[in-house]
Structure 1
Amino acid sequence: MALLKLALAVTELDSDELAGQDRDKEVSRATSGYVYVRSVSQPLTRSHPWSTMHLRFVDHRLTATADLDERIGDLYSRGRPLPEGMPILLDDGWRPVEPWLTYFRIVAASADRATLRAYAYDARRFAAFLDARRTDVIHATSDDIVAYREWRLNGSERPVAHTTWQRDVVVIRGIYQLLTQTGQIQREPWITIGKSSPLRTRWTSEPDIRPLTQSQWRTFREVGLGGRTASGDLDESWRGSTSLRSQAGAQLAVTTGMRLGEFSTLLDVEIPSSIDSGGSLLLEACAKYQKRRRVHIPLTTLRAVDLYRQTERRAVVRASAASLWRRRAELFIVDEIDMSAGVVRGRVDGRRSRWRLHQLPPRLRRIAVTERNEGLEALGLFVGRGGLPISRRQWHATFEAASRRTLDLAQAEMGGRRVRITPHDLRHTFAVVLLKSLTEVALAREAERRAGNVGPSTLSEHISINPRLTVQRLLGHSNPATTMVYLRYVEDTDALIQDVFESWSDEAMTFADAVLADRNAA
């Protein structure tokens, strides 16, 4: 089997992408620093309806060496301007596929690394599907688009939700915008009449909001993450060694509303030590769409983080200092942290680099270290066994295991909840609890005004105490409609319906009466 020396330095797929394939046909690196690739074939299945379609990502750490011939050296030098992490789609002959190469070069200029990788996998799936139908994006017809939509939603071994399909739509629309704007095709292959088109689905759904009650949260924290029994005793069979890290991360999520991609990339210096009050930090580079917002952290959460710092994190830092030192060539070595100016300075890839803390991108946060007497220490807050911050995948695995344990050991305490708890559920919990509390404050303020105890509210006061606007700002929502979804979860609808139908014997009571009675009783 012939080997192809790629002139563009690219990284291989994640290890789980290669699971189940012939290990003799995997990707292997040569000593020259380039990637040597053996062709990896995939059988035709309903899950992967293609034979050979490959995806790689630009990695400038795989540098060129002096023993290359002039032709390959020239190709490599021309490939250097490709953005770091940019996806490259390759056909079965290991040739870059156009127009996808141009598409990702344009998208990589503005999209963050995580979004870019997600688009890359979507693009490979779409391109491979068309390839299996003996066509491509330029020659595809409306029937091909419809067939792909039906396969994604109904025909594959793992059908996706309609919300997931919308991300596919973003990629499909994007590639056809490129083709029409560059004159490669005159128009998209589908016809749109009103709101109907092959890309649209007939059904729309709201986000699945699954907030936890206070009791459910405590049970999940203590039993699922903390290794206790439902009665609160220590579980002697518990073998977890990162309970405090897991609890601190979950508590940050539920009390601040941060997304997983936000709290998992926090730096230790960004979280103040617990004092007599809470603290705050500024998010930007790690926030969705890089939308800047300030996050407030309660005192109890700061104490949970401090406890983790002084125990589990300290032990990991001490154990990994020497191994990180041996890897220093591939890390971002920070030699100055100016907290008063919010600036970090250091060296990465042989070059000096200066960043404002809130603008430090996730890729550098995950490899940022500083020198200590014993070796190197990661700047990341939530570090793993190797000393660097744990990945999003590890956080999801932690929550998955904690959910199974909670539902197995404390089913009664969870109040009938049978679905697993995710990091985003904690964000939903923050939104619903805060929205309900702010609504009560606003109603109390309005009652005081009606009673004549306070004067008329000014416009600024209306804005400052508006529950929806406040929650929208704290969550970093760009669209007010996203925040509006949480409004229907402020009232305990299940309990309210139970009260109404149990009171059917009172024919004079209406649904509105039941709502008012419920509020008065509270």
Structure 2
Amino acid sequence: MDLAFVQSGRLERFLDSDVISAAEVAALLKRRGVLDGMPVFLDEETQMPVPALCEYGRYLSTSLLDEGTLKDYGRAVFRTDNYLVKLESDVLSASESELVAYRNYRTQRQKKPIGWNAWSKESFVLDDLYGFLVDRKILSHRPVRVAARGRNPLAPRLRVGMHIRHLTFEQYRHFRDVGLGGQLPNAQVDQTFRGWAPLRNRAGSDIALGSGTRWGEWSTVLLPEIGLWPGIPGGAAEYTVQACAKYGKARPVYVPEDAVASADLFCLLERPDIVRRAARTLERKARDLFVVGEVDVAGGWVRGVLDGVVREFQMSAMPAKLRRITVYEGEFGLEALSLFVCRGGLMPGADAWKGYRHRAWARMNALADETTPHLPARRWRWHDLRHTYALRLLTYLENLMDGEEPDLHARRRRHRSYLSGHIRHNPLLIVSRRLGHSSPETTYEYLQYTDDLINEFEAAFNGWVGDDKATYAEIASRALSEMNGGRR
């Protein structure tokens, strides 16, 4: 079986048919509500659609999943079928034992086994697929039995919680300034640094940490949204994120003044040169871009020409794909309306930001010395800055609520009273709203990282074991650090 994805933007370039024009096909896709990224499963020999699986792809498209998620679902089904073919089976006729064998292959036997977190997502796709096939009477029953408490053999063995990693102040500054910014560990300028656009990368990390937003939310921000637009006074910025938010859930995003200033420095010193170099390229691509002619900052909308038609969009409702091709007439010609730009003049994608982070990690390890903050075994992710934001804000709000109360038990009693009587000002719910969590239960995961466990161990076992060279707290600290993957 082969896998393809719907890409309406490529029709005009690649469709060559006397039977139907590219414009007619594009109009048909829109009329039928077929989204870009919808998986299309083709028979390997005939290259004809596999009806049952293509019907599932159509079902996914009507669920209004984003393009990346649609492709992930399609790839999960495709991988499963590829493995089952080797067993002389396929996803439509698979037995429970064959699917269990696939699970074992993915989590144990393949060259680079995936973890239970990744398998949890894949098993969810398979469960969703077979549920759909049974509901549509394509299959008479699911190939995998449902055991007690709704579990099945494909489910992960362990219930996996959030993988929370956070940075200390020293670690963050080292990541930002040395890894991304090209400085030496002693804060001096590294004359041998050959990195590209360090101010852009530093600004990205500052906005990620200062706003606590997800990668897809901060990396797609537009200049008018963050306040770097003519007629907007400087300072902190606040805007609404919706189309680029997880599940499309709208919420306000606050970017502190220092983070905006970091972005402003990039716009003053680096961005003009990138824009100037890419202007001619963007002019050649103008037909494929959304060329904005009017920006209403107060109303939060933009108006311009897209595919030869004048269109108007609310900025918060613009998905990442549209933001990536949105440009306006600037000083040097067409330039991106997004804050962050790369060599091509448009918004960097996921692979580009991953590359910036990976190169920063390699640089930090190459320059590591006795003054370097602790570097964990696994490289930091952009999402770790969101976790750092959450923990810092949660700890700050809890300390603010505690006031000067010195007694730990009294503070805990105040917490219980506060939760029941002052929901609106509860620190956990404030952080949950800021992060855009669908449920406060997700935010509960952070609570285990806000307690000062080491001091509690010291008080509980003071004088029991050890000698002057190694206290129990030091032993406990090392044990906790190892359990948490190097975190303290």
TM-score range, shorter chain: 0.7 to 0.9
1:366 aligns with 2:321: no
1:424 counterpart = 2:376: no
Contact 1:403 1:420 (C-alpha < 8 Å) held by counterparts: yes
Distance 2:308 2:459 in 1: 68
1:506: how far off? 10
Q: 1:60 to 1:315 in 2, by over 3 A?
A: closer
Give 2:44's aligned residue.
92
Instruction: Note the C-alpha offset of 1:77.
Output: 7.7
Contact conserved, 1:225 with 1:243, CA < 8 A, in 2?
Answer: yes
Aligned to 1:177: 131
2:19 to 57, 70, 74: 70
Task: Write the letter of the residue equivalent to 2:378.
Answer: V
Larger deviation, residues 430-439 vs 174-183:
174-183
Gaps of 5+ in 1: 1-51, 452-456, 515-522
**Residues 433 and 65 of structure 1, relative CA distance in 2, 3 Å threshold:** closer
From 80, 96, 119, give the equivalent of 2:73. Answer: 119
The alpha-carbon distance between structure 1 residues 228 and 66, as it changes in their structure 2 partners (threshold 3 A), is: closer
1:383-405 per-residue CA deviation (whole Å, 9 max, x = no partner) reads 00110000111111111111121
Aligned residue for 2:92, secondary structure, equals coil
Cα distance change, pair 65–120 in 1 and its aligned pair in 2 (3 A): closer
CA RMSD between the two structures: 3.2
* Alignment CA distance shift 1:63-1:239 (3 Å): same
**Contact kept? 1:264, 1:392, Cα under 8 Å:** no
- Where does residue 518 of structure 1 map in the other structure? none
3-state SS in 2 of match to 1:410: coil
**Structure 2 counterpart of 1:217, one-letter code:** Y
Query: TM-score of the superposition, structure 2-length normalised?
Result: 0.85
Q: Structure 1's 501 and 236: CA in aligned 2 closer, same or farther, altered over 3 A? A: farther
- Asked whether the 8 Å contact 2:6–2:35 carries over to 1, the reply is no
How far apart, in 1, do the equivalents of 2:393 and 2:319 lie? 29
SS of residue paired to 1:306: helix
Aligned in 2, Cα 1:315/1:73: closer, same or farther, shift over 3 Å?
A: closer
Q: Distance in 2 between matches of 1:290 and 1:340?
A: 22
Superposed CA offset, 1:233-288 (max 9, x none): 11121111211000000111111111111111111111014967422111110011
Q: Which residue number in structure 2 is paired with residue 168 of structure 1?
A: 122
CA pair 510-210 structure 1, distance change in 2 beyond 3 A: closer
Give 1:186 deviation, angstroms.
2.0
Residue of structure 2 in register with 1:471 after alignment:
431
5 Å-filtered alignment, 1:25-174, equals 53-63=2-12, 68-70=17-19, 76=25, 80=29, 81=32, 82-93=34-45, 94-109=47-62, 110-174=64-128
Counterpart of 1:70 in 2: which secondary structure?
coil
Question: Aligned partner of 1:90: which letter?
Answer: L
Provide the rounded CA distance (Å) in 2 between the counterparts of 1:248 and 1:71. 48
Structure 2 Cα separation of the partners of residues 428 and 60 of structure 1: 36
Task: Among all aligned residue pairs of Structure 1 and Structure 2, give the percentage whose two residues are the same amino acid.
Answer: 34
Match of 2:335 among 377, 389, 401: 377
| Distance in 1 (alpha carbons) for counterparts of 2:462 and 2:272 | 56
User: Deviation of residue 138 (structure 1)?
Assistant: 2.5
Which of residues 193, 205, 208 is equivalent to 2:163?
208
Matching of residues 281-296 of structure 1 within 5 Å:
281-296=239-254
Q: Please state whether the residue corresponding to 1:63 is helix, strand or coil.
A: helix
In 1: Cα distance, 2:419 partner to 2:159 partner: 36
Give the C-alpha shift of residue 166 in structure 1: 1.5
* Secondary structure of the corresponding residue to residue 268 of structure 1: coil
Q: Alpha carbons of 1:214 and 1:79: their partners in 2 closer, same or farther (altered >3 Å)? A: same
Q: Which amino acid aligns with 2:100?
A: V
2:373 counterpart residue number: 414
Deviates more, 1:310-319 or 1:427-436: 310-319
What runs of 5+ residues in structure 2 fail to find an aligned partner?
412-416, 477-488
What SS is found at the alignment partner of 1:99? helix
TM-score, length-normalised on structure 1?
0.80
8 Å CA contact 1:321–1:387 kept in 2: the answer is yes
Equivalent in the alignment of 1:16: none
Distance 1:267 1:416, change over 3 A: closer
Per the TM alignment, residue 447 of structure 1 is displaced from its structure 2 partner at its CA by: 8.5
Give the counterpart letter for 1:144 in structure 2: E
Structure 1 CA distance for aligned equivalents of residues 448 and 15 of structure 2: 65
After superposition, the Cα gap between the structure-2 partners of 1:395 and 1:493, relative to the gap in structure 1 and judged at 3 Å, is farther
Q: Distance in 2 between matches of 1:443 and 1:241?
A: 45
Structure 2 CA distance, aligned partners of 1:505 and 1:203?
Answer: 35
Distance 2:322 2:204 in 1: 20
More off after superposition, 130-139 vs 391-400: 130-139
Q: How much does 1:350 deviate?
A: 2.6
Runs of 4+ in 1 over 4 A off after TM superposition: 64-67, 71-79, 273-277, 445-448, 457-461, 494-503
Q: Distance in 1 between matches of 2:392 and 2:76?
A: 35
Moved more, 199-208 or 322-331: 199-208
* 1:63-114: CA deviation from partner (whole Å, max 9, x where unpaired): 3899734389999589634333322222312222232211111212310112
